[in-house]
Amino acid sequence: MLSDESLAAQLRRPHGDHALPVAESMNRSNGALNHAAIALLAVAANEQVLEIGPGNAAFAGELLRAPGSRYLGVEVSAEMVTAARDRLGAAGLEGRASVAFGDVHALELDDACIDAALAVNTLYFWEDPAVPLAELARVLRPGGRLCVAFGDAAFMRTLPFTAYGFHLHALAEVERALRSSGLRVCGWRSHREQGASNDGRVVDKHFHLLLARR
């Protein structure tokens, strides 16, 4: 059983012997939220999709259901990049999907090359959302969209591990940051469920999903 501080470090960047178990735990605890975010993003045929912090790319297949769509994940954990590539290869998706080592604060992507971008539960690791949101706005094509999903700050404070390096942002603050980056907020969903958190406790979860357009 990891300490709260160790768990927080693993959630930020899965590494070492705990990387794969932590990734599977995140897939289970965040599954319903990911499904809701993917539904809101609504990838269309022939779109280029970018996912920030995909872990082992467990949800890439769902993002690739639209015919002709293509997928790129950008991940800060080297262990997760390897695991994601293995998963994509086993699923026969390597021709349409790839995962690269990188950081949303400095994306190695051309301007206006992405149709749809997704960031689920990564906002906590952005001390100042302005820089990553500006990067995401830069790589989105005109009319392209971004879905950001994150825990309500009051709910997140009830999870002990968030005391260690998590930056909790209020909904209004994130909306302002999106607008400041040049994106237009065009949708919001509240996602609530009861289930296990990443520390194994059963909790009442509350998340926000924001959809913005370039």
What residues are paired with 119 via a beta bridge? 52, 148
3-state DSSP assignment of residue 213: strand
**Quick one: pLDDT at residue 121?**
98
Phi-psi sector, 121: left (phi>0), alpha (psi -120 to 50), beta: left
**Quick one: pLDDT at residue 199?**
84
Instruction: Enter the tokens of residue 97.
Output: 């999907």
End-to-end CA distance of the chain: 43
**Quick one: pLDDT at residue 1?**
80
List C-alpha distances in Å: 33 to 65, 80, 106, 149: 18, 20, 26, 8
- Find the mean pLDDT for residues 100-126: 98
- Find the mean pLDDT for residues 79-106: 97
Would you place residue 92 in the very low, low, confident or very high pLDDT band (cuts 50, 70, 90)?
very high
- Phi, psi (degrees; rounded to nearest 5) at 176: -65, -40
pLDDT at residue 90 above 90?
yes
- Find the mean pLDDT for residues 132-139: 98
Instruction: Enter the tokens of residue 99.
Output: 């995962």
Compute the distance between CA of residue 49 and CA of residue 41 in angstroms, rounded to an integer.
10
Instruction: Enter the tokens of residue 210.
Output: 């924001």
Handedness of CA 136, 118, 46, 42 (dihedral sign): negative
| Residue range 41-70, pLDDT digits in tens | 999 999 999 999 999 999 999 999 999 999
Residue 37: which H helix or E strand, with range?
helix 31-41
| Residue range 17-39, pLDDT digits in tens | 999 999 999 999 999 999 999 99
- Residue that has been written with the tokens 């769902």 in this structure: 62
Would you place residue 105 in the very low, low, confident or very high pLDDT band (cuts 50, 70, 90)?
very high
| Residue range 150-183, pLDDT digits in tens | 999 999 999 999 999 999 999 999 999 999 999 9
* pLDDT, mean over the chain: 97
pLDDT at residue 198 above 90?
no
**Quick one: pLDDT at residue 201?**
87
> Of all residues in the chain, what percent carry a pLDDT higher than 70?
100
| Residue range 181-193, pLDDT digits in tens | 999 999 999 999 9
pLDDT at residue 200 above 90?
no
